Structure 1
Amino acid sequence: MELQPVLTGPRLMLRPLKAEDFDALYTAASDPLIWEQHPAPDRHEKRVFEQFFNRTFKSRGALAILDKNSNKLIGTSRYYDVEGRDSVCIGFTFLTRNYWGSGYNRELKFLMLDHAFIYVRRALFHVGEKNIRSRRAMEKIGARLVGRLERQKPDGSPDPTVVFEIKRP
C-alpha cells in the first residue's frame, strides 16, 4: 500500500509530511484545547510536540493536511500498521480548531479511506477511551466500535483505547 499519496478533495489536499513542515505544524498544534481530551494533553508544548513530530515523520505514513484555499497547513494524519490486504490503521490525526465541526475531518477521512480501500478491506481507528470528541467524530463518519485495547503511554501509564472499524463497501 502506498502510505504517503497526494490526495485532493474539494477543500483539502493531503501530501507527504516533510521535515520542513515542523514550524507550520507546531503553530497549528500549539492550541492546548486541541489536546484537552487526548491521551497526551501536553502535546501543545513544543518539547512534547517535537517528539511527536519526529515519530510521525519517521513513520513514513504521515500526511500533511492543507487547506486548498489558503495553502495553509492545518493538521496531520497518517496510515500505520498495514496488515497485508486485510487492514490499515488511520490515526494520529489533528486539525486546528477553526476547522472543527464543518466537515473537514469527514473529507479528510474519506480521502484516506478511498485510497486505503484500493489496497485493504477495512480501516481501523484507535481512539483514546476518554476522547469523546474523537469518538463522536468516528461515529459521524460511520465507524463501528469493535473493541478495546490496553496500551501504555510512553511513560508506562495505562492508555485505554477503543477501536473503531470501517469496512470497504
Structure 2
Amino acid sequence: MTDPVPAPARPDFRSKPTLSGPRVLLRPVTADDVPALLPMFHDPEASRLTGNHAGGGDAPDEARLREWYATRGDQDDRLDLAVVDRATGHVVGEVVLNVWDPGNESCNFRICLVPGTYGQGLGTEATRLIVGHGFEKLGLHRVSLEVYAFNPRARRAYEKVGFVAEGVLRDALLWEGERVDATVMSVLAPEWSRHRGMPALP
C-alpha cells in the first residue's frame, strides 16, 4: 500500500503584496482607487477588448464599485492589485489572479488598463510581475487567459511574457452582431522557471 499523496499547499492569497518593476508598481487595490479606475469601466473600447457587455452606459456606478473594491483585501482565493505608473504615481489599471482551481493548482489571469495608457509597455511589465508572483511565491502550476481575435496587441504582450496559445474557442463572443473567436493561452511553472517571463520570441 502506497502512502497517500499530500495535498498541495494552499497559496497565500490573503497576503496582498507590493511588486515593483522599473516602470510600474503593483500594490493592493482599494476603494480609494475607484476614481482612477472608473474610465476603464465606461470606455467602449475597453469593454469591447474585454468582452464586457456590462460596460459603457451599463457599467456599475462609483458607489457599487467602491463596495466591491473595499472587499478585495479580504479575499483568500484571488489576488487583485492596482497598477501604478511609477513615472506619474497614477493608478492606470488593475491585474488579477482569480478562478483559483486548488485541485489543479491553476489560476486565471486578467488585466485591464484605463484609456490612454495602452501601447506603453506598462501592461506587459505588470503582467510579468503578477504572473511571476503566482509561480514564484504562490506555487501555481498553470496560469491561463483568453484573448479575443480582435485584440492582437494584447496577444503579443502575453507572448512577450511567455504565454503560449493552446487552442481557439470558436465564436466565444457575440459583439454587436459579430461572433468573435477567443484564443486560450497559458504559461506553466516549468516554462517560467526557464525564462522568468522573458522568453526568446521569433
1:100 aligns with 2:111: no
- Of 146, 160, 167, the residue aligned with 1:140 is 160
1:166 aligns with 2:177: no
- 1:76 is displaced (CA, Å) by 0.8
- Of 127, 130, 147, the residue aligned with 1:127 is 147
* Distance verdict in 2 for CA 1:130–1:28, change over 3 Å: closer
Preserved CA contact (<8 Å) 1:81 1:88:
yes
1:90 paired residue number: 109
- 3-state secondary structure, aligned to 1:125: strand
1:48 paired residue number: 59
1:13 aligns with 2:25: yes
Preserved CA contact (<8 Å) 2:40 2:46:
no
Count of residue pairs brought into register by the alignment: 163
- Ranges in structure 2 where 5+ consecutive residues have no aligned partner: 1-10, 194-202
* Larger proportion of strand: 1
Normalised to the residue count of structure 1, the TM-score between the two structures is 0.76
* Distance verdict in 2 for CA 1:101–1:115, change over 3 Å: same
Preserved CA contact (<8 Å) 1:79 1:88:
yes
- Paired amino acid for 1:40: N
Instruction: Tell me how large the CA RMSD over aligned residues is.
Output: 3.2
- 1:105 is displaced (CA, Å) by 1.5
- 3-state secondary structure, aligned to 2:49: coil
Q: Which moved more, 1:106-115 or 1:79-88?
A: 79-88
Larger Rg belongs to = 2
- 1:5 is displaced (CA, Å) by 2.0
Normalised to the residue count of structure 2, the TM-score between the two structures is 0.65
* Distance verdict in 2 for CA 1:70–1:108, change over 3 Å: same
- Structure 2 distance, partners of 1:134, 1:41, is 19
* Distance verdict in 2 for CA 1:88–1:101, change over 3 Å: same
- Ranges in structure 1 where 5+ consecutive residues have no aligned partner: none
- 1:167 is displaced (CA, Å) by 1.6
